[in-house]
Structures are given as C-alpha cells and as structure tokens.
Amino acid sequence: MTTNEAKSADSGGDACGSGTCGSGTCGSGWRLPVLLALVLAAILLARWTGERETTVAPEATRETAPATGQSVSLAIQFGDGVEQSFEAVPWHEGMTVDDLLTAASRRSNGIRYSVRGDGASALLLQIDKARNEGARGRNWTYTVNGTRADRSFAVYPLRPGDHVLWTFAPAE
C-alpha cells in the first residue's frame, strides 16, 4: 500500500480526510438547496396555517343605512334550517364581501368567522360554529345577486343594492 492509499484508508477512503472539503469538492453542494427548500417549506406552512378570526365586540346599537339608501344585504344559511340575515348594511366605496362579513360581525346579533390567507387567496373556514368539512362534507360558498362567485370573498367588490348569500352545504 502506498503512502497516499494509507492516508486515504485512514480518513475513510475519500479525499475529504485531507482537509480539502472546504473547497466544495466533497459533495457538500447539496446542502444549500436543501436548506433553502426547508426554509421555503416553513414559510409556506406558516402562511397556510395562518388563520384570523373576527373578534369584534358587537356594538350596542344597530347600524342604519345612509340617507342615500346605498346599502347591501347578507343572508347566511347554516344548512340545518337556520338562516341569519343582515339587511341594509351601509355600503361604501371599495367594499368587499369580507367587509360585509366584518360589518355583520359588529351587529348586536353579529356573527364570528374565521379566514385563512388574505386577498385573492383568502378562504372562509367557519361562520359561527359551522366549519368547512373538506372535500366530502359541507363547505361555505357564496353568491352575489344569485350568481355563484368566481373569486375570493376578500376581493369581490360590492355595489349598492347587492345581496350576498353564504350557504353551508355539500358541493354541487
């Protein structure tokens, strides 16, 4: 056995025992991509599990529609025969369905709701005690003026006179 072969055998049989690993020649190039992938996965997981719940204390007085009559309304069907309605909720420029739910949560007979995500990726998870059940169960969907929504409720703009209906039911 030559001197180099002996050194190689003593250090585990590779060139890394010679102290040259710091140069990146020992296959350590995989560490950075794996570390970056783990960091990215942690960020995505934190975003995905980030829920917010409205915890607004109901106001003692009922809101009234502005004198102009510009308002929207909301109905919630819980799927068990129970329905809750919020009529003449004051409308404002730039109002979304999420803003309407927030206004309903501030009423004396208000609701509580939970959301995951925000903006175009926001998903309504729960209204009061009715929580989405997944692919084979009942879930929350909404319509505006009888038309099924085509985007997240957090970005769906409302106009004066719109009626929003949330329904807790199996997928159609």
Buried b / exposed e over 27-40, threshold 16 CB at 10 Å, is eeeeeeeeeeeeee
Report d(CA 120, CA 109) in Å as an integer: 28
pLDDT recorded at residue 77:
97
pTM over 0.75: no
Do 141 and 166 meet the contact criterion of CB atoms below 8 Å apart?
Answer: yes
Q: What is the pLDDT of residue 61?
A: 36
Positions of the chain with pLDDT lower than 50, given as ranges: 3-19, 24, 48-49, 54-67
CATH 2.170.130.30 fits 52-57+70-170, yes or no: yes
Contacts of 163 (CB under 8 A, 6+ apart): 72, 73, 74, 75, 144, 145, 146
What's residue 37's pLDDT?
Answer: 78
d(C-alpha 116, C-alpha 155), whole Å: 14
Q: Cβ-count burial of 13 within 10 angstroms (0-12 exposed, 13-18 middle, 19+ buried)?
A: exposed
Do 133 and 78 contact (CB within 8 A), yes or no?
no
pLDDT on residue 34: 80
Q: What is the pLDDT of residue 13?
A: 46
